[in-house]
Amino acid sequence: MPKIEVNERLFFQLAGRTWEDALELEQSLTTAKAELDEWDRSQPDDGTRTMKIELNDTNRPDLWTTAGLARHLRTYAAGKVPVYPFFASPRKQLEAHRTVRVERSVREVRPWLSGFIARGPAITDPVLRDMIQSQEKLAWNFGRKRKAVSIGIYRTSLIEWPVRYHGVDPATTSFVPLQETRTMTLEQILEEHPKGIEYASILKGRPIHPLLSDAKGRVLSYPPIINSADLGAVQVGDSEVFIEVTGTDYPSVALAASIMACDLYDMGYSIENVRVEYEYDTPFGSTVVFPYYFQGLASTTLEDIARLLGTPLDLDAVLTALTRMGVCAYTENGSVIQAAPPEYRNDFLHSVDLVEDVMIGHGLQAFEPARPSAFTIGRLSPIEHYSRKVKNILVGLGYQEMIYNYLGSGRDFAEKMQIPTSSLVKIANPMTENYEYVRNSPLPALLNTESVSGKASYPHRTFEIGKVALKDPEANYGVVTRQYLGMLISHAAADYNEIASHVAALLYFLGKEYVVRASEDPRFVPGRQVEVLVDGERRGIFGEVHPAVLEAFGITMPCAAGEFDIEAMM
Amino acid sequence: MIDVTTVRALHPLEIRILLAYGPGDIIDGQKVRQDLGFREGQENQAFSWLAAKGLLEEAGRNIELAYELTALGKEWHEKGTPEARIMAILAEQGPLSLPDLAQALGFDQKTVGSAFGALAREGVCAMNDEKKASLRDARLPARVQALAALLSKAASMGGMLPEAVLDQDELAIMHTVAKKRGAQDAPFRIAERTRVSYRVTQQAAEWQEAVRSLGMTGEELGAITPEMLEKGSWKHGQFRPYNVQVPPARVIPGRRNPYVEFLESVKDKLVSLGFEEFDGNLVETEFWNSDALFMPQFHSARDIHDVYYLEEPTHAKVIEEPYLSRVAAAHEHGGMTGSRGWGYSFDRDFTRRLILRSQGTVLSARQLPKAHIPGKYFGIVRCFRYDRVDATHLSDFYQTEGIVLGEDVNLRTLLGFLEMFATEVAGAKEVKYVPGYFPFTEPSIEVHIRHPVLGWFELGGSGIFRPEVTRSLGVEVPVAAWGIGIDRMALMALGLNDLRELFSSDLESVRLRRSQFKLQ
């Protein structure tokens, strides 16, 4: 979930009000599913003070910017939808003086581009910081780490129009990237430049890489990797910038430009459209003027709203609620609601999304909790029930119940147990080798307790009932989960006979007739271990723990132990 | 006034001393042993108890020498001293060479040599012409007799001869045979003992009076024995009361784990609210873990840095139909769900990828195709996250999740459930709801509660499953889905502040852990 840092003064100014109290601000932020994370008000209020805000809705990238969040709060309070006059749409043609030509060569690698120009007051430090943050958050969270969307910002005055977006050979094309002074080929950038290394996977192996250059052939940027050092740097004091978005997901590319354009418009900049001419057809046409309003109408019904929210709302209440959420809605027949998503939003997938906006716009506190009346019978799962029975018997036998983590190291789960790691389920992307395998037995954890509990008064009698993962090539997943019992005794005279007596008592009270059969498990002493057969099926094993296992765990007290598949015995 | 229960709790040894002596009397161990027949050691116990009560005070202490019979001394006492035995065998068998003597008596050469030397000096024995020891005077020398007498006296006094009981002659003999250190080749070891004497205090009078008036004799019955019960001998005596204030010895019982008990108590609570428990596999597919929950395959929470993937095997063989096709359609263009979908091309290979279940909601999704309507289900299940393990993060942990299916499920009944969890499960006094975001529910609600101890915190998240989720899995009624975080309450109930402690390996800490949870 994105977390943004907003300049307090800029935020309040854009929101059209101030908050004196963190609690009050937190309350306001709930309508944006946002949480105030940090607001250090002991810092001087000199225009640089910031606050950190976490945004929970991953489908609302428009809220991840200072202006966007402020717009939501302003609209919610005023109940008035803001107007952005600079959008072209299928029904509204607009002229544009500046053009970007998208060539056929990028179609396979990164086909979509949108952009616009913002002109206005000299850019201040807080505005520049905010622009860069928006650029990063949109490209990282919404743009799937620049794969689907990346954004470039340039000083317009340096660019000779029209701009070309075209595919080039990464081995022979070169320019000076930001944070560098030398000319590098695209291949070199992917291998040596920090940003190149970070995002190389997006382009690696592609024969043609995308490039933006101006009419003079100078490089603007190498999307989605890095801008050029010559044309691709923006600083405080600039008053006219070109913002372009490229990517692989067309609606997202268009939406990112819309969000940034609305934000800059809210901050007092005028937005100049850019015409994008594709050499191929696109869902929005082969020539598209951006910012472009591409969203279709969303709809729901008063009936759906009443059913989902549990309260009938009248038409006025619904329309008012939607307006507070920035949504222009109307009805033609009094029951079907048609809603135009705001220019900066594209999150209405289903009518339920619109219903939720009605809920928030209407105010969640207006809905009274109601007790459900349907009668249902509660019950524990059969295995939980059976496990509790086993636990009660073991407690009666003097055992302490333990509970352990299921992930561990190959060293604990296999090496020390004298079994091969291949018998365990291994994680392909472990964070550390301490949590690399899923256990196939509770015994390593019980033995680990012995290795750290030498000072606890003896005798030790411990058990755990929990899940294990066992490889099974027959199963659909190749792995099955079972509920296992592990039990262990440790003291100077702990031996086969004692654990055998406990097993006998346990199985007697579980009502299981059993026979034992000599086994050869490397975890136990040869000749002092048996498999337990219930109805002819192997259900468990017990015996004296092999001294080699004890030594590997650093245990100097004799141990006897057993493990049982209680799910199979149930 | 003395407390009667304190008097009753007096030990028999204390009672006997109190009854035997009065204020001002000076007593010590030897005297008590003689007067009252105490065994060695008993007097010191009694003295320390009485002194602690202020009924005795130390009157003096002197260091006394005593002579303790060694193992050798005991042997001499039983079989005779080497000198006496040499004289006896010579009288019986006639002259013998020194090696023959040693062999016959089982002595080493040195013992025989020095004993014969002493006897020869006193003229009792001599070496004859054949170099054999022979007897010249059959009467035991006085010195040998006196040593034998000393040995007998020591044996009769429990192996210990205080210096005070010996006369000049006895002391003279003793000095020739007793050693301070390395006394294994000597019959006596010189021991120093500190002898403490006590004066009975004035306070004792009142206790004595109390003991007498209660008819206590010090002969009260101690432990109840089977013999006592068989013979009925207990009928003729009084039971000695025990000091019930003595801290009892520790026992280590078999015991349930308090964290597991906590989890079970939450399960029981949910069952009482009409929920049926579900369970499932630790290993799951991307399909059930996320795709079935309408999380787009490119969603940021589905990154390699959030979910654990299996190294081998990597993919499930099949995903159940018709769910796979329906879910794929919902992702791509909405399918039959009334949605426009995410608008991307669903990856049917990736969806079979095996992972460790990262959220309990998997089980809710799996329950949908087989759920009853109306129906309520829950699970407290182990989940795995790609997280650095610390006090607030674990790589595997429990999530508490559930669903409610029914025609009457809507926002208001969802709030009703959340209110129920807040008050019934968490014991909250105040509840607050705010809009939330989860990829699989719409609308989504977070519930915050004010806990009597923990204050305000987020208890959980919930919402009504998106139709893309429910319709793809064959459910046409609304389904409320909820998850509550109970680990903070568990930590509080167990007096812990580190999540890792919930799964502690330390046996002693688990044995001593107490739970203070109380569900309403």
Domains plus CATH for chain A? 3-78 (3.30.56.10), 98-290 (3.50.40.10), 298-366 (3.30.56.10), 382-569 (3.30.930.10)
User: Both B314 and B264 in a single domain?
Assistant: yes
Shortest CA distance from B341: residue in chain A: A349
Which of A308, A349, A455 has its CB closest to that of B339? A349
DSSP secondary-structure letter at A46? Answer: S
Element (H, E) at A18: none
Do the domain assignments include residue B167? yes
User: Both B43 and B82 in a single domain?
Assistant: no
A403 touches chain B (CB under 8 A): yes
B60 has pLDDT over 80 = yes
Number of inter-chain CB pairs under 8 A, A vs B:
272
Do the domain assignments include residue B378? yes
User: Both B301 and B404 in a single domain?
Assistant: yes
User: Both B135 and B231 in a single domain?
Assistant: no
CATH of the domain at B479: 3.30.930.10
Q: Determine the Cα–Cα distance for residues B343 and B332; give it in Å rounded to an integer.
A: 5
What distances in angstroms separate CA B300 from CA A2, A261, B485, one per listed residue? Answer: 10, 25, 22
Q: What is the reported pLDDT for A73?
A: 97
User: Torsion over CA of A44, A48, A52 and A55, rounded to 10 degrees?
Assistant: 140
Question: What confidence tier does B518 reach under pLDDT thresholds 50, 70, 90?
Answer: low
Q: What is the reported pLDDT for B86?
A: 87
Residue A410: both structure tokens together: 């190959």
Q: List Cβ neighbours of B178 (8 Å cut-off, separation of 6 or more).
A: B67, B186, B187, B188, B189, B190
Would you call B21 exposed, middle or buried from its count of C-beta atoms within 10 A (0-12, 13-18, 19+)?
buried
* Other CB atoms within 10 Å distance of the CB of residue B121: 10
Q: Which domain holds residue B364?
A: 260-512
Q: Determine the Cα–Cα distance for residues A369 and A350; give it in Å rounded to an integer.
A: 25
Lowest model confidence (mean pLDDT) among A214-223, A290-299, B36-45, B505-514? B36-45
Measured between beta carbons, the chain A residues lying within 8 angstroms of B470 are none
B71 has pLDDT over 60 = yes
- Nearest residue to A146 (alpha-carbon basis) of A18, A25, A246: A246
User: Both B8 and B147 in a single domain?
Assistant: no
Asked if this assembly's ipTM is beyond 0.95, the reply is: no
Do the domain assignments include residue B475? yes
Cβ of A310 within 8 Å of Cβ of B304? The answer is no
What's the average model confidence in pLDDT over B330-338? 95
User: Both B133 and B176 in a single domain?
Assistant: yes
A338 touches chain B (CB under 8 A): no
428-447 in chain A: CB under 8 A from chain B: 428-431, 434-435, 438, 445
Element (H, E) at A54: strand A50-55
User: Both B423 and B286 in a single domain?
Assistant: yes
Do the domain assignments include residue B357? yes
Total domain count, chain B: 3
User: Both B180 and B227 in a single domain?
Assistant: no
Residue B190: both structure tokens together: 């010189």
Q: Determine the Cα–Cα distance for residues A211 and A197; give it in Å rounded to an integer.
A: 17
Which of B276, B415, B435 has its CB closest to that of A31? B435
The residue out of B130, B160, B191 marking a domain boundary is B191
Measured between beta carbons, the chain A residues lying within 8 angstroms of B254 are 394-400, 461
A209 touches chain B (CB under 8 A): no
* pLDDT tens string A95-130: 999 999 999 999 999 999 999 999 999 999 999 999
Q: Determine the Cα–Cα distance for residues A544 and B313; give it in Å rounded to an integer.
A: 33
Instruction: Pick the residue of B437, B466, B498, B508 with the most A CBs within 10 A to test the interface with A by mutation.
Output: B437
Instruction: Pick the residue of B355, B395, B397, B403 with the most A CBs within 10 A to test the interface with A by mutation.
Output: B395
β B430-435/B441-451 pair status: antiparallel
Of B181 and B60, the structure prediction assigns the larger pLDDT to: B60
Do the domain assignments include residue B520? no
Q: How far is B357 from chain A (nearest CA, A)?
A: 12
Question: What confidence tier does B304 reach under pLDDT thresholds 50, 70, 90?
Answer: low
> Which regions of chain A are under pLDDT 70?
none
B67 has pLDDT over 90 = no
Do the domain assignments include residue B519? no
Question: What confidence tier does B520 reach under pLDDT thresholds 50, 70, 90?
Answer: very low
Residue with token string 């099949």 = B318
Do the domain assignments include residue B98? yes
Average pLDDT along chain B = 89
B402 has pLDDT over 80 = yes
User: Both B143 and B112 in a single domain?
Assistant: yes
Q: What is the reported pLDDT for A437?
A: 97
User: Both B50 and B175 in a single domain?
Assistant: no
CATH of the domain at B79: 1.10.10.10
Would you call A474 exposed, middle or buried from its count of C-beta atoms within 10 A (0-12, 13-18, 19+)?
exposed
Cβ of A370 within 8 Å of Cβ of B415? The answer is yes
User: Both B19 and B81 in a single domain?
Assistant: no
User: Both B205 and B187 in a single domain?
Assistant: no
Q: What is the reported pLDDT for B8?
A: 83
Of chain B, the percentage scoring pLDDT greater than 70 comes to 98
Q: Determine the Cα–Cα distance for residues A313 and A362; give it in Å rounded to an integer.
A: 9
Alpha helices (runs of H) in B428-481, residue ranges in sequence order: 467-470
